[in-house]
């Protein structure tokens, strides 16, 4: 392509591409009440699913967890097989109200036990022997040719999950700061003159990203500031992320996917206290978040998916902790769940894999497929490939 190719009719550059979104958002049209949203939460480090949803009557569990086992007085019983860790008080309520689905034994074939690799597999939606450089949410943006701000990670830099081939999501921790960075006069001047470069191979790609950054920052900042979130959230980083998401949702931002994460779950030693605290932080933040959405009548159009890159080994280690495992539970929280409470039976602690880890029963990609098809209303085949089967969740 020649450097001097002028493409003046580019809709992207003229701004027409995103104007309808602004009009909708600023004219008081209540997107919040009609638009479906997905909030993805990662428990970073590999949450021990067996001490989260506890097989509190299972002898194998007791034998394998001599120091870490949670018995009747440490849990909220859900069925005669499974119970919640006592830190998950609000989740017990969600469970009883039918607003929570627990999917047990979620994973994938040939599980990888490295944090970064398994996390990449979950983020990309690849098989464990494939190396993809885009994420499933990024490809959702690609497939619909959506604007970057349709997927937001609450952080300073973008994770693989939101990276697409042509369109990537954006990372926003603080809308004002992001706006200030993207809208420096120097950058804005460049953007205004960028029209002529948009058709050039990589330079055009850079200018498009620059324009998109500026427009996304502007849209997120100007829309979210119309809503003053007075809800008191707990004072930690994770709760703050959820507060940002609630503010974005309740302000009428058209974003359909959000991503937040809570770290610290890599409990190789001294697990009991550490995990209980983390689950408490998690539960308390989710409670505040869900109640915030409910008050604003936006919970009914929101689904929360909670995952971890892997579960942990059934047998505890010598340091009163657990090592990296395989299949784990996934939570779905929402108002429109078709299979509330338990989607499937308790994890099989008898037939473990050769390393001693839980074998997956549900492929994580089938949860993605369901969320894409039955919640976000797009065809998952364009995003996940041809061979992923949906399951009954939504």
Partner 1 sequence: MTRKAIMKKEEIVHLYWRAGFGISPSELNLKQNQSRQEVVRGLFELSGSMKELGEDMSDLQKDFLNFRDSKSSALRKEFITKSKDRLVKLNVSWIERASATQAVLGEKMTFFWDNHFVTRSENAIHVQKYNNVLRKYALGNFRELVRAISESAAMINYLNLITNTKSHPNENFAREFLELFTLGRDVLYTENDIHEVARAFTGYRNNLESEFDFAPGLHDNEEKTVLGEKGHFTGRDIIDIVLKKKECARFICKKIFVNFINDVIDEEQLAEITEVFYKNYEIKELLEHIFMSDWFYEERHRGVKIKSPVELLVGIKRTVPITFDNEQDYIRLERLLRQVIFQPPNVAGLPGGRNWIDPNSLLLRMNLATYVLNNSTFEFEDKGVAEDTFEAIEKKAKKRGKVFGEPDWEHFDKEFSGYNVKEITTLFISGELNTANCIELLKDKRVTLREGCLLLMSMPEYQLC
Give me the residues that bind partner 1 (CB under 8 A), please. Answer: 3, 44-46, 115-117, 119-120, 129, 131, 133, 148, 155-159, 162-163, 168-171, 174, 177-178, 180-182, 186-187, 189-190, 193-194, 196-197, 201-203, 205-207, 209-210, 212-213, 216, 236-237, 262-264, 266, 274, 277-278, 281, 309, 318
What 3 state SS string does 264-275 have?
A: CCCCCCCHHHHH
The closest of 130, 127, 125, 158 to 143, measured between CA atoms, is 125
Nearest distance, CB of residue 303 and partner 1, angstroms: 25
DSSP 8-state class, residue 301: G
Q: Which is nearer to partner 1, 100 or 260 (CB)?
A: 260
Q: Which is nearer to partner 1, 153 or 292 (CB)?
A: 153
The closest of 333, 325, 219 to 282, measured between CA atoms, is 333
Q: Which is nearer to partner 1, 29 or 205 (CB)?
A: 205
Nearest distance, CB of residue 312 and partner 1, angstroms: 13
Nearest distance, CB of residue 58 and partner 1, angstroms: 28
In whole angstroms, what is the distance from residue 204 CA to residue 112 CA? 38
Across the chain, the runs of DSSP E, i.e. the strands, are: 37-44, 53-54, 75-77, 83-85, 100-107, 151-153, 170-171, 257-263, 302-308, 328-333, 341-342, 362-363
Nearest distance, CB of residue 249 and partner 1, angstroms: 21
* Count of C-beta atoms within a 10 Å radius of residue 218: 18
Nearest distance, CB of residue 126 and partner 1, angstroms: 10
Q: Which is nearer to partner 1, 79 or 192 (CB)?
A: 192
Q: Which is nearer to partner 1, 164 or 340 (CB)?
A: 164
Q: Which is nearer to partner 1, 120 or 373 (CB)?
A: 120
Q: Which is nearer to partner 1, 32 or 286 (CB)?
A: 286
Q: For 146-181, give one letter per residue: b (16+ CB within 10 A) or e.
A: bbbbbbbbbbeebbbbbbbeebbbbbbeebeebbee
8 half-sphere exposure, CB direction, 13 A CA radius: 0
Nearest distance, CB of residue 181 and partner 1, angstroms: 5
Q: Which is nearer to partner 1, 194 or 305 (CB)?
A: 194
The closest of 118, 122, 153, 116 to 135, measured between CA atoms, is 122
In whole angstroms, what is the distance from residue 33 CA to residue 298 CA? 6
Nearest distance, CB of residue 218 and partner 1, angstroms: 12
Instruction: Give one DSSP letter per residue of 334-387, joined into a string.
Output: -S--SS-EESSPPP-SSS--TTS-PPPSEEHHHHHHHIIIIIS-S-THHHH-S-
Nearest distance, CB of residue 318 and partner 1, angstroms: 7
Q: Which is nearer to partner 1, 178 or 375 (CB)?
A: 178
DSSP 8-state class, residue 389: P
* Count of C-beta atoms within a 10 Å radius of residue 79: 12
Nearest distance, CB of residue 217 and partner 1, angstroms: 8
């Amino acid at each position: 392509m020649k450097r001097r190719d002028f493409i003046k009719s580019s809709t992207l550059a003229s701004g027409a591409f995103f104007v309808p979104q602004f009009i909708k958002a600023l004219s008081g049209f209540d997107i919040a009440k009609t638009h479906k949203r997905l909030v993805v939460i990662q428990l970073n480090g590999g949450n021990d699913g067996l001490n989260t949803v506890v097989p509190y009557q299972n002898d194998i569990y007791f034998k394998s967890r001599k120091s870490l086992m949670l018995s009747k007085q440490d849990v909220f019983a859900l069925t005669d097989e499974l119970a919640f860790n006592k830190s998950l008080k609000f989740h017990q309520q969600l469970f009883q109200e039918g607003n929570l689905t627990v999917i047990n034994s979620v994973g994938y074939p040939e599980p990888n036990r490295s944090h970064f690799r398994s996390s990449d597999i979950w983020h990309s939606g690849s098989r464990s022997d494939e190396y993809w450089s885009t994420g499933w949410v990024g490809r959702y943006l690609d497939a619909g040719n959506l604007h970057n701000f349709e997927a937001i990670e609450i952080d300073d830099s973008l994770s693989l999950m939101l990276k697409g081939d042509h369109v990537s999501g954006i990372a926003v921790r603080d809308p004002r700061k992001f706006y200030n960075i993207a809208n420096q006069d120097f950058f804005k001047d460049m953007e205004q003159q960028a029209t002529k470069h948009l058709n050039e191979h990589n330079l055009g790609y850079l200018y498009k990203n620059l324009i998109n950054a500026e427009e996304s920052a502007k849209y997120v900042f100007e829309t979210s500031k119309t809503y003053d979130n007075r809800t008191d959230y707990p004072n930690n980083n994770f709760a703050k992320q959820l507060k940002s998401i609630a503010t974005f949702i309740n302000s009428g931002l058209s974003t359909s996917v959000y991503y937040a994460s809570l770290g610290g779950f890599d409990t190789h030693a001294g697990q009991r206290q550490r995990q209980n605290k983390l689950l408490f932080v998690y539960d308390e933040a989710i409670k505040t978040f869900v109640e915030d959405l409910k008050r604003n009548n936006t919970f009914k159009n929101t689904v929360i998916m909670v995952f971890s890159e892997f579960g942990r080994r059934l047998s505890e280690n010598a340091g009163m902790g657990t090592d990296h495992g395989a299949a784990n539970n996934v939570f779905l929280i929402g108002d429109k769940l078709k299979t509330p409470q338990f989607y499937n039976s308790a994890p099989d602690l008898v037939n473990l894999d050769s390393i001693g880890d839980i074998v997956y029963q549900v492929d994580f990609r089938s949860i993605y497929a369901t969320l894409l098809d039955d919640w976000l209303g797009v065809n998952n085949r364009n995003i996940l490939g041809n061979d992923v089967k949906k399951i009954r969740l939504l």
